[in-house]
Structure formats: C-alpha cells, structure tokens
C-alpha cells in the first residue's frame, strides 16, 4: 500500500506499524549499522507509483527503510512524501547489472545507484538477510 506520510496522522502510522512493524529503536539502529539505504534514482515504476512521481526535467529519487516485518520505500512528489509499505512476505527483489527491481504485490519500482554502488549492494544484502530471518521465524523450525 502507498500512504501519504507528509503529515503525522495517527491512523496512518498505526496502519503502517500493523503491516511492517514499528520503526527500530535508536539502539537497534546502531546495532544493525543503519536501517536506511542511500538515495537511489528511480528509472521506472508501475503505473500506480509512476502517477505519483513527477517525470519532468528532474530525476526522481527514493530510499528504503528497514522495519521488523517489512520495508518502506520513501519517495517525494512535489511537496508530498509517500511511503510504499511492503511486508517481507510480499517483497521480491531482482538485480540486473546496474539496477534493482523491487516488487510488492502488483507494483514495482526500478532503481539504480546514485552515488556508491558498493553501499547499495551492501544494503540490499542486509535487506535480503533480514527478510530471510523474518520469513524463517514466521515459517517455524520445521519448514
């Protein structure tokens, strides 16, 4: 689901927390050595997300925030900030030579590095590890 998170509304925050968990506490963020990706450039997106992005002369950017049960992809359109909430069970990531394609349900976003490719690769590795750990916990030891 995509939420307008520009304004701090309790009902939206509660919905997001129910889907992907509350944000990590400060100490846990330090233990994980960060929970956010660097800024990435959006190359293309599904029609729903593309409708929220502005495709004029300025490139579009996004970043990813890790949560206990999923991720939130943050992006801006004009003065509004949006969060695309993807539970780990619905998250798929495909990597090509220079880009990553992130899927959640029927929507997707294709991104590429903006600055440091090694940092982005490291973050994606961390994201996939967190997803694997979560899915293993949910599935149980017999799976």
**Model pTM score:** 0.91
Categorize the per-residue pLDDT at 119 as very low, low, confident or very high, splitting at 50, 70 and 90: confident
The answer to whether residues 83 and 15 touch, using CB atoms and an 8 Å cutoff, is: no
Torsion angles phi and psi, residue 110, rounded to 5: -110, 125
Could you give the 3-state DSSP secondary structure of residue 125? helix
Q: What is the pLDDT of residues 40-70, one digit of tens each?
A: 999 999 988 888 886 656 778 999 999 999 9
Find the mean pLDDT for residues 18-45. 93
Structure-block tokens of residue 12: 């939206």
């Amino acid at each position: 689901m995509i939420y307008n998170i520009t304004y701090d509304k309790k009902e939206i925050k509660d919905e997001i927390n129910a889907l992907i968990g509350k944000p990590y506490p400060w100490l846990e963020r330090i233990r994980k050595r960060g929970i956010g990706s660097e800024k990435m450039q959006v190359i293309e997106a599904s029609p729903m997300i593309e409708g929220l992005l502005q495709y004029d002369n300025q490139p579009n950017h996004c970043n990813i925030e890790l949560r206990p049960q999923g991720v939130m992809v943050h992006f801006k359109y004009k003065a509004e900030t949006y969060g695309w909430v993807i539970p780990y069970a619905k998250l798929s990531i495909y990597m090509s030579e220079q880009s990553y394609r992130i899927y959640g349900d029927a929507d997707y976003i294709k991104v590429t590095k903006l600055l440091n490719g090694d940092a982005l690769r490291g973050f994606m590795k961390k994201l996939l590890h967190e997803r694997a750990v979560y899915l293993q916990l949910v599935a149980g030891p017999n799976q």
